[in-house]
C-alpha cells in the first residue's frame, strides 16, 4: 500500500465511505493524512469557579449517584448522573446517548466534556473522555452526513499507523531546519494528535509554511519555463484584419485599452512565453481587450481559449463574443460541464479538428477529453479563482500557449509577486467616456422600504434592478430560504407593475440561463439573486443594485456587485442595506459610499483585513489557501516565496536527492488533478 493509493485500500472502507470521503476532497491515503482539524476542543480541566455560564470545558469528578435514564417527548432520552466536582455536587445530563450509562460507576472518577450551565449547576454533556482520548486537545474536523467525527478519526488513526512512516518530507531538510519546521511525519502527528498546545501551534506553523511553499514552488516552476525562449510561441498576427475588427466595434477604444492591446500584441509576436496580468476596474472594458487579443491569435493561425470561473459567465461571454466576432468569420464554441452529451461531442470535435477558432468555457476546458488542434493563446478571467494546477493544465493543452490573466481587483506589487509570480502587468486605468460615477447610499434595515421606493422610481424610468439577497449563514440551505423569502416579499411589493425573478446557485444551469436571458432581454425588471451574479454579468440597462445585509460581504465583493450596474449612459444607484455590528464593517460601508475607485477600495480592503477583518472573499484577487492567509501570514508567504525561488533556480527539474519528496508530491498532485 502506498500513500497515493485510494482510501478504499484501507480496511473497512467500502464504496459508501469512499464517496463520503470524496465529498470532503479526500481520495488518497495521503489526502486523508493531510485532512487537518479546523479547531480543537480544549480538554484541560479548569476549576468550576473560573467557568462562565454556557462555557464549554472538560469536567473531572467523582460519580456520586447511579445514572438515571428517562424518556421525554416521542424520541428523546435523557441520562442524568450526579458528580462531585471541586466539592460541588453537579448534575451531568446527556441527551440521546443512553449507552453512556455504563461509563458512570459510583465512587469512580470520570471526565466529561460539555457545556456549563451556571444557574442550574449542570453540565450538558457532549462526550465522555476515556483514558485513551485523554489528550489536552481534541481535534474537530469538518465532516458531513456520511462521515462523522469518530469514524473519520479512526480512519486517520489507521492510516497514520500504516502509512505515516512512509511520508517523505516535501520541505528539504536544510530549509526545514533553518525555519525550525516539523518533518511531514511530525506535522501529521501533531496536527491530529497533539499532546499539548505547543505541539498544535508548531504543527499549524509548519502546515502554513508548507502550503505556501508548495504553491510557490509551482509558481517558480512555471516562471522558469517562461524564461526559456525555446519554450515560447511566436504568434505572427496580421495587422490589417485586426484593424478591421477594431473598426467594427460599436465604440472607440479608450487610450488605456489601446495601450494594453499594444502591450499584449508585442508579447504575442515575441518568441518568449507570454505571461501577463491584465488588471482593470469593473466596467473598464477588459473583455473587449481580451477579444482583440484572441482575434489576433486567430489571424496568426492559432486557436484561442477563454476560461472563466462560472457557467453563467461562460454563457454571457459566449453570447457577447459571438456577436462581436460575427462580422469576422470567426467560429466561437462554448464548452461547459452542463452541455448535453451530443452537444459536448460536437464541441469537442470542433475544437480538435480546428474548425472552431475560439473556445469559451469553465474548467471543463482542462478536462482530459479536451484536445485542441493548435491552441496558441489562453485568457484566464478571474485567475485567482483557479488553482496553480488548473492554470498549468490549460497551458498543457497547447504547445505552451501565451497566457493573459485578467483580474478586476488590483493587488499591491509585493502581493502580486508572491501570488502571481512576477507576471508582467498591464493596467486599464480609465473608464469608457460618459460613465457617471454610481451613487451609493447606505440605509439601515428599517429603511429598506425607502430603498424599494427609490428603486421603483428608477424602474418607472425603464431601468432594471438587481437585488442581492442576504447572506446570513454559511449554509446554502439557509441562504436559499432567505432569497426565496425576499423574492416573495418583492413579488408582493411590486405586484403586477413589475416582473420579479429569482436566481440562485442551486438552480439547474438551464434554469439559470433562462432567468438571466429573461433579465437581459428586459422581460424581467427585478432580479433577486444570491451572489451568483458576483462576477462579470453585463446588463447595460440595469441601473440599480440593492444589496441586503451588505455588511456580510467583503469590500471586493461589494465593489464587484456594484460594478454590475452603471454600464449604460444613465445615472446608476447602489443601495447598501446594513446594520453593521462592528467598527470595521461600519468602515466598509463608509468607504463604499465615499468612492467608486477600485484601486482605492483594494487598498482599503487590505488595510481593514490587516486589522482583523475576516471578510476575505473570493473577489479579493488573491488565491485561496486552505490554512494560510496571504495577508495575516504575509511574512511566511514571503519566506516561502524566497526559498522556493532559490530552490527552483538551483534545481529546476528537482533532481537533487533532498528534493525527491517534493518531486514525488508534485507528481502525485498533478496526477490527482487530472481526475476532476
Instruction: Give me the residues that bind ligand ADP (CB under 6 A), please.
Output: 251, 253-254, 257, 280, 282-288, 408, 432, 538, 540, 567
User: Cα–Cα distance between 598 and 605 in angstroms, integer?
Assistant: 10
With CB under 5 to 8 Å by kind, the binding choice for 567 among ligand ADP, Mg ion, none is ligand ADP
Nearer to Mg ion, 176 or 317 (CB): 317
Residue 290 Cβ, how far from Mg ion at the closest point, in Å?
8
Backbone conformation region of residue 537, classed left if phi is above 0, alpha if psi is from -120 to 50, else beta: beta
69 vs 37, 92, 102, 233, 273, CA distance in Å?
33, 12, 12, 76, 72
CA 408 to chain centre: 16
Taking CB under 5 A as the criterion, which residues in 344-403 touch Mg ion? Answer: none
309 contacts Mg ion (rule: CB under 5 A): no
Nearer to ligand ADP, 257 or 419 (CB): 257
Nearer to ligand ADP, 403 or 486 (CB): 403
Residue 223 Cβ, how far from ligand ADP at the closest point, in Å?
26
CB–CB of 280/429 below 8 Å? yes
Residue 536 Cβ, how far from Mg ion at the closest point, in Å?
4
3-state SS, residue 45: strand
With CB under 5 to 8 Å by kind, the binding choice for 282 among Mg ion, ligand ADP, none is ligand ADP
CB–CB of 514/527 below 8 Å? no
371 vs 121, 345, 595, CA distance in Å?
68, 12, 45
Residue 189 Cβ, how far from Mg ion at the closest point, in Å?
46
Which part of the chain contacts Mg ion (CB under 5 A), choosing from 88-96, 394-402, 432-440, 535-543?
535-543
User: Cα–Cα distance between 142 and 24 in angstroms, integer?
Assistant: 8
598 contacts Mg ion (rule: CB under 5 A): no
With CB under 5 to 8 Å by kind, the binding choice for 540 among Mg ion, ligand ADP, none is ligand ADP
Residue 209 Cβ, how far from Mg ion at the closest point, in Å?
34
Residue (of 228, 230, 238, 216) closest to 299 by Cα position: 238
CB–CB of 496/525 below 8 Å? no
With CB under 5 to 8 Å by kind, the binding choice for 280 among ligand ADP, Mg ion, none is ligand ADP
The partner residues of 110 in beta bridges, in order of sequence, read 61
With CB under 5 to 8 Å by kind, the binding choice for 37 among ligand ADP, Mg ion, none is none
With CB under 5 to 8 Å by kind, the binding choice for 298 among ligand ADP, Mg ion, none is none
602 vs 308, 497, 508, 546, 647, CA distance in Å?
22, 39, 33, 21, 32
- For 113-146, the three-class secondary structure string (H helix, E strand, C coil) is EEEEECCCCEEEEEEECCCCCCCCEEEECCCECC
Report the 10 Å Cβ neighbour count for 107. 8
Nearer to Mg ion, 56 or 320 (CB): 320
621 contacts Mg ion (rule: CB under 5 A): no
* Position among 232, 421, 536, 661 found at the interface with Mg ion (CB under 5 A): 536
Nearer to Mg ion, 100 or 253 (CB): 253
Task: Identify the helix (H) or strand (E) that includes residue 477.
Answer: helix 476-494
All cell numbers assigned to 645: 525561488
Nearer to Mg ion, 286 or 391 (CB): 286
- For 617-645, the three-class secondary structure string (H helix, E strand, C coil) is CHHHCCCCCCCCCCCCCHHHHHHHHHHHH
Residue 251 Cβ, how far from Mg ion at the closest point, in Å?
16
Nearest-Å Rg of the Cα atoms of the chain is 28
Residue 535 Cβ, how far from Mg ion at the closest point, in Å?
7
CB–CB of 260/277 below 8 Å? no
The residue at minimum Cβ distance from Mg ion is 536
Residue 406 Cβ, how far from ligand ADP at the closest point, in Å?
7
Which part of the chain contacts Mg ion (CB under 5 A), choosing from 68-76, 90-98, 161-169, 530-538?
530-538
540 vs 171, 409, 518, 571, CA distance in Å?
51, 21, 14, 12
The residue at minimum Cβ distance from ligand ADP is 285
Residue (of 529, 555, 553, 532) closest to 544 by Cα position: 529
Residues sharing a CB contact under 8 Å with residue 177, sequence separation 6 or more, in sequence order: none
With CB under 5 to 8 Å by kind, the binding choice for 172 among Mg ion, ligand ADP, none is none
Which part of the chain contacts Mg ion (CB under 5 A), choosing from 5-13, 41-49, 180-188, 531-539?
531-539
All cell numbers assigned to 666: 508534485
Nearer to Mg ion, 114 or 536 (CB): 536
566 contacts Mg ion (rule: CB under 5 A): no
Nearer to ligand ADP, 254 or 619 (CB): 254
Residue 540 Cβ, how far from ligand ADP at the closest point, in Å?
5
Residue 568 Cβ, how far from ligand ADP at the closest point, in Å?
8
Which part of the chain contacts Mg ion (CB under 5 A), choosing from 67-75, 532-540, 560-568, 661-669?
532-540
Residue 226 Cβ, how far from Mg ion at the closest point, in Å?
25
With CB under 5 to 8 Å by kind, the binding choice for 288 among ligand ADP, Mg ion, none is ligand ADP
Which stretches of the chain bind Mg ion, using CB under 5 A?
536
Amino acid at each position: 500500500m502506498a500513500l497515493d493509493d485510494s482510501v478504499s485500500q484501507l480496511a473497512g472502507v467500502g464504496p459508501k465511505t469512499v464517496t463520503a470521503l470524496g465529498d470532503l476532497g479526500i481520495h488518497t491515503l495521503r489526502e486523508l493524512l493531510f485532512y487537518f482539524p479546523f479547531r480543537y476542543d480544549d480538554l484541560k480541566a479548569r476549576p468550576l469557579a473560573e467557568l462562565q455560564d454556557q462555557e464549554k470545558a472538560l469536567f473531572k469528578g467523582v460519580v456520586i449517584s447511579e445514572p438515571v435514564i428517562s424518556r421525554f417527548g416521542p424520541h428523546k432520552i435523557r441520562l442524568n448522573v450526579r458528580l462531585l466536582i471541586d466539592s460541588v455536587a453537579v448534575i451531568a445530563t446527556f441527551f440521546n446517548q443512553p449507552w453512556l450509562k455504563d461509563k458512570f460507576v459510583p465512587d469512580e472518577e470520570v471526565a466529561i466534556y460539555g457545556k456549563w450551565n451556571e444557574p442550574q449547576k449542570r453540565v450538558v454533556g457532549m462526550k465522555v473522555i476515556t483514558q485513551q482520548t485523554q489528550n489536552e486537545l481534541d481535534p474537530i474536523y469538518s465532516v458531513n452526513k456520511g462521515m462523522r467525527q469518530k469514524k473519520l478519526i479512526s480512519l486517520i488513526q489507521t492510516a497514520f499507523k500504516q502509512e505515516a512512516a512512509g511520508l517523505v518530507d516535501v520541505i528539504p531538510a536544510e530549509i526545514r531546519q533553518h525555519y525550525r519546521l516539523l518533518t511531514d511525519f511530525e506535522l501529521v502527528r501533531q496536527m491530529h494528535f497533539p499532546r499539548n498546545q505547543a505541539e498544535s501551534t508548531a504543527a499549524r506553523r509548519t502546515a502554513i509554511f508548507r502550503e505556501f511553499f508548495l504553491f510557490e514552488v509551482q509558481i517558480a516552476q512555471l516562471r522558469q519555463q517562461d524564461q526559456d525562449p525555446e519554450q515560447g510561441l511566436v504568434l505572427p498576427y496580421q495587422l490589417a484584419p485586426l484593424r478591421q475588427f477594431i473598426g467594427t466595434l460599436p465604440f472607440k477604444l479608450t487610450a488605456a485599452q489601446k495601450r494594453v492591446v499594444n502591450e499584449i500584441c508585442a508579447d504575442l509576436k515575441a518568441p518568449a512565453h507570454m505571461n501577463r496580468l491584465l488588471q482593470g476596474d469593473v466596467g473598464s472594458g477588459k473583455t473587449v481587450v481580451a477579444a482583440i487579443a484572441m482575434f489576433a491569435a486567430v489571424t496568426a493561425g492559432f486557436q484561442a481559449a477563454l476560461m472563466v470561473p462560472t457557467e453563467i459567465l461562460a454563457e454571457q461571454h459566449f453570447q457577447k463574443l459571438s456577436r462581436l466576432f460575427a462580422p469576422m468569420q470567426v467560429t466561437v464554441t462554448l464548452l461547459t460541464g452542463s452541455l448535453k452529451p451530443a452537444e459536448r461531442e460536437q464541441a469537442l470535435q470542433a475544437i480538435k479538428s480546428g474548425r472552431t477558432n475560439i473556445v469559451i468555457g469553465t474548467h471543463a476546458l482542462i478536462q482530459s477529453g479536451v484536445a485542441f488542434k493548435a491552441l496558441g493563446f489562453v485568457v484566464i478571467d478571474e485567475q485567482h479563482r483557479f488553482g496553480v494546477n488548473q492554470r498549468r493544465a490549460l497551458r498543457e493543452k497547447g504547445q505552451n500557449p501565451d497566457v493573459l490573466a485578467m483580474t478586476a481587483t488590483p493587488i499591491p506589487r509585493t502581493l502580486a509577486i508572491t501570488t502571481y509570480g512576477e507576471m508582467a502587468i498591464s493596467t486599464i486605468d480609465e473608464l469608457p467616456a460618459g460613465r457617471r460615477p454610481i451613487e451609493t447610499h447606505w440605509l439601515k434595515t428599517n429603511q429598506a422600504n425607502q430603498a424599494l421606493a427609490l428603486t421603483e422610481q428608477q424602474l418607472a424610468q425603464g431601468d432594471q434592478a438587481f437585488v442581492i439577497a442576504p447572506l446570513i449563514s454559511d449554509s446554502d440551505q439557509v441562504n436559499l430560504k432567505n432569497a426565496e423569502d425576499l423574492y416573495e416579499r418583492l413579488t408582493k411589493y411590486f405586484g403586477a407593475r413589475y416582473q420579479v425573478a429569482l436566481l440562485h446557485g442551486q438552480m439547474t444551469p438551464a434554469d439559470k440561463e433562462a432567468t438571466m436571458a429573461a433579465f437581459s432581454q428586459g422581460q424581467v425588471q427585478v432580479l433577486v439573486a444570491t451572489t451568483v451574479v458576483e462576477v462579470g454579468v453585463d446588463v447595460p440597462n440595469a441601473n440599480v443594485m440593492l444589496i441586503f445585509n451588505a455588511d456580510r460581504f467583503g469590500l471586493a465583493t461589494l465593489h464587484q456587485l456594484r460594478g454590475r450596474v452603471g454600464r449604460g449612459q444613465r445615472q446608476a444607484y447602489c443601495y447598501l442595506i446594513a446594520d453593521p455590528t462592528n467598527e470595521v464593517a461600519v468602515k466598509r460601508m463608509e468607504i463604499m459610499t465615499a468612492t467608486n475607485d477600485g484601486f482605492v477600495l483594494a487598498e482599503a480592503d487590505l488595510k481593514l483585513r490587516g486589522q482583523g477583518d475576516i471578510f476575505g472573499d473570493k473577489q479579493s484577487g488573491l488565491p485561496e489557501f486552505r490554512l494560510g492567509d496571504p495577508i495575516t501570514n504575509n511574512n511566511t508567504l514571503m519566506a516561502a516565496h524566497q526559498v522556493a525561488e532559490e530552490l527552483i533556480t538551483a534545481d529546476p527539474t528537482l533532481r537533487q536527492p533532498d528534493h525527491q519528496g517534493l518531486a514525488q508530491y508534485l507528481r502525485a498532485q498533478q496526477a490527482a488533478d487530472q481526475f476532476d
